[in-house]
Amino acid sequence: MEYAILFLPLIGSLFGYLGRSLSKYFAEILTSLFVSVSAILSIFVFWNGIQNDIYGNYIIFEWISSGSFKANWSINIDPLSSVMLVVVTFVSALVHIYSIGYMSHDPHKPRFMSYLSLFTFSMLALVVSDNFLQLFFGWEGVGLCSYLLIGFWYKKETANNAAIKAFIVNRIGDFGLAIAIFLIFFFFGTINFEDIFQTTSQFVEKKIVFFGFEFNLITLICIFLFIGAMGKSAQFLLHTWLPDAMEGPTPVSALIHAATMVTAGVFLVVRCSPIFEYSPIALNLVTIVGMITAIFAASVALVQNDIKKIVAYSTCSQLGYMFFAAGVGAYHVAMFHLFTHAFFKALLFLGAGSVIHAFKDEQDIRNMGGVRKNLPYTYVFMLLGTLALTGFPFLSGFYSKDAIIEFAYLKNSNLGNYAATIGILTAFLTSIYSWRLFFKVFHGSYNNKIISIKQTHESPMVMLAPLMFLGIGAIFSGYIFKETFIGHHSKEFWQGSIFFLNEIKHDAIPIWFLLITPILVLIAIPISFYFYILKPDVLEEFKNTNKPLYSFLLNKWYIDEIYDKVFVIPAKKIGSFFWKKGDIGIIDKFGPDGISKLVKIISNKTGRLQTGFIYDYAFVMLLGLSILLTYLILK
């Protein structure tokens, strides 16, 4: 069963791509079926773990063995990986089914479905690894697949640029992860998780010199691990690829943001909790970056107009929550939010895809509005996703997001209090921008001047059915699994898959603190309706009187512009110089171009000897004969 979970998506990817010419729906049906079976089996594995405590490490084969270096290809099933299996396969299965309808008019949909399945396999290989090498294989695999899928419409220049940007930015994070793995192997002598985690405490006081500076070994390893996580999970300063990734088809966005790619960074930090727990400095760094990311992305989402980019910045903000939860030592709460977030974020992305489908590929929310009667099912599903994301009482986001804020408060430290405050403020901003999106899409007046409101229509059932399952998860996943994931006996569930050196007790929380976030979330609803539907002129006037602030948020804190000036433009100038002076001026001039030019000159000179006159040829023959006779006589 465990082998089938891992390899069915890979088999589906291969046969779906190779068999794309067999029949019209062969690739769609095969890939969707195989991933769906993998999802069902993952649920069985997860349930078996909860009920019967059935876990294990299934070694497929010995991958590399060289001296003391050994790495297996294995399927490591523990509580942490079983949770990820459900998240990855369940969301992926629904995205596959949804794509059958969404990509129905695309001539290359077999290739698209094949890429989706390969993406799923790469993420599964990552989460079931029992060593850093297999994890790195899956890590690079999801990076490659994201490049292929973001740039799927390769004839579109913006899609190509977005794919390249995602690939390059992730290479920065991947380089950090690679350094961490090198350090681990050099000092620990192994890359197997179990061996590393058991001996980490022996290296707590170990100091090393790195680039002329002395560092604590564990802290240095954790910082480089976190740099890797920052790249994959789009944390502040390495986040710039995530909004641009919206150039890919909407199902790709849902898969990247809900189940694969961006969740890999959170998983890495939680998986390596036995290392991070011994480095307070690294944990503080994780908390600070998570806090900044949460508030940054939420503030930027307030003024974005592309429906997918708003949801993308929402993902970036929610990942910030997960990281600062891990930073304060509440790894299980970070995983709980990752779990619930997968349902409502996939629901929001696929719901946004349904809206885009209805508006014939229009993505600007300013050109929508007033279509709640035309899209009744999409309206309900988007409403559920919005309620869950904002943390509306008793929906999934309420249990997981509020738990993060509560655990940050219970950390009882200055940084924990800052994190809790940022978490509360971010929750309020999340509610504002989420309801802004919802109201401007479905309420108010109809603003699209290209297509009439009568032309907007509900999506087909093949697209709506996945939304229904995700809607159920968005409602009930938090309530059902709260006690299992973060309850008083949650340590028994997580067993050794998450390490708690300084466990935070979830008790003695003031009632005012418990109520403040839900109250702000509820207050944001009428505020949003008033400013975005009833009195939009008030906001327009505010934007006109505060243009610097509005421009600052609209331009995403000018991070991209700073990177362009500091890195991109100088790199292009340096590249242009070496290309013109080095490549063209030296290599081409004295290399292939120089040789060809010399051959051409010689050929032209030689060609002049071919006059076509018999007496010239006779003269040459006589001259040659004279030289030959002279040579023979002198010899």
The closest alpha carbon to 276, from 196, 213, 160, belongs to 196
Contact between 379 and 372 under an 8 Å Cβ cutoff? The reply is yes
Query: What is the rounded CA–CA span in Å between residue 514 and residue 522?
Result: 14
pLDDT exceeds 80 at position 613: no
Q: Would you place residue 385 in the very low, low, confident or very high pLDDT band (cuts 50, 70, 90)?
A: very high
According to DSSP, the β-strands at 207-210 and 69-77 are: unpaired
Query: What is the rounded CA–CA span in Å between residue 582 and residue 591?
Result: 11
Query: What is the rounded CA–CA span in Å between residue 134 and residue 372?
Result: 47
Average pLDDT rounded to a whole number, residues 610-623: 75
Please tell me whether residue 20 adopts helix, strand or coil conformation: coil
Burial class (CB in 10 A: 0-12, 13-18, 19+), 21: exposed
pLDDT of residue 113: 92
- CB half-sphere exposure, 115, CA atoms < 13 A: 23
Query: What is the rounded CA–CA span in Å between residue 506 and residue 487?
Result: 8
How big is the chain by its Cα radius of gyration, in Å? 30
pLDDT of residue 591: 66
Q: Would you place residue 403 in the very low, low, confident or very high pLDDT band (cuts 50, 70, 90)?
A: very high
Query: What is the rounded CA–CA span in Å between residue 44 and residue 33?
Result: 17
Written as six digits, the tokens of 143 are 């990076």
Written as six digits, the tokens of 566 are 């500091």
pLDDT exceeds 70 at position 418: yes
Contact between 357 and 463 under an 8 Å Cβ cutoff? The reply is yes
For the chain, the 3-state helix, strand and coil shares in percent, each to the nearest 5, are 75, 5, 20
Q: Would you place residue 558 in the very low, low, confident or very high pLDDT band (cuts 50, 70, 90)?
A: very high
Average pLDDT rounded to a whole number, residues 223-235: 94
pLDDT of residue 382: 95
Contact between 283 and 327 under an 8 Å Cβ cutoff? The reply is yes
pLDDT of residue 308: 93
Look up tokens 């708690």; give the residue.
500
pLDDT of residue 109: 87
Give the CA distances from residue 185 to residues 137, 269, 476, 520, in Å, rounded to whole numbers and listed in that order: 16, 18, 43, 48
Contact between 94 and 250 under an 8 Å Cβ cutoff? The reply is no
Written as six digits, the tokens of 377 are 């099912």
Written as six digits, the tokens of 1 are 């069963």
Average pLDDT rounded to a whole number, residues 291-315: 94
pLDDT of residue 492: 84
pLDDT in tens, 246-256: 888 999 989 99
pLDDT in tens, 87-127: 999 999 999 999 998 888 888 888 999 999 999 999 999 99
Answering whether pTM is above 0.85, one says yes
SS3 per residue for 510-550: CHHHHHHHHHHHHHHHHHHHHHHHHCHHHHHHHHHHCHHHH
The dihedral built from the CA positions of residue 313, 315, 319 and 320, taken in this order, carries a sign that is positive
pLDDT of residue 2: 85
Please tell me whether residue 238 adopts helix, strand or coil conformation: coil
In one-letter notation, the amino acid at residue 256 is I
> In 151-279, which ranges are continuous DSSP H helix?
157-188, 193-199, 217-232, 241-244, 250-258, 262-271, 273-276
pLDDT in tens, 466-508: 999 999 999 999 999 999 999 888 888 888 888 887 777 777 7
Report the Cα–Cα distance between both ends of the chain, in Å, rounded. Answer: 89
The dihedral built from the CA positions of residue 320, 321, 327 and 333, taken in this order, carries a sign that is negative
Query: What is the rounded CA–CA span in Å between residue 199 and residue 176?
Result: 22
pLDDT of residue 136: 94
pLDDT of residue 20: 67
Please tell me whether residue 75 adopts helix, strand or coil conformation: strand
Task: Say which residues have a Cβ less than 8 Å from residue 194's Cβ, sequence separation at least 6.
Answer: 130
How far out from the chain centre does Cα 397 lie?
A: 20
**DSSP conformation class of 364:** B
pLDDT of residue 609: 65
Please tell me whether residue 488 adopts helix, strand or coil conformation: coil
According to DSSP, the β-strands at 56-66 and 207-210 are: unpaired
Look up tokens 């023979």; give the residue.
632
pLDDT in tens, 594-607: 777 777 777 777 77
Query: What is the rounded CA–CA span in Å between residue 335 and residue 341?
Result: 10
pLDDT in tens, 324-366: 999 998 999 999 999 999 999 999 999 999 999 888 888 999 9
The closest alpha carbon to 550, from 559, 563, 541, belongs to 541
pLDDT in tens, 30-75: 999 999 999 999 999 999 988 888 898 888 888 888 777 788 899 9
DSSP 200-219: GGGGTT-EEEETTEEEEHHH
Average pLDDT rounded to a whole number, residues 128-132: 92
SS3 per residue for 414-432: HHHHHHHHHHHHHHHHHHH
Query: What is the rounded CA–CA span in Å between residue 247 and residue 356?
Result: 13
pLDDT of residue 614: 76
Contact between 303 and 553 under an 8 Å Cβ cutoff? The reply is yes
pLDDT of residue 144: 92
pLDDT of residue 153: 86
Least confident window among 430-439, 465-474, 525-534, 622-631: 622-631
Look up tokens 């059902």; give the residue.
480
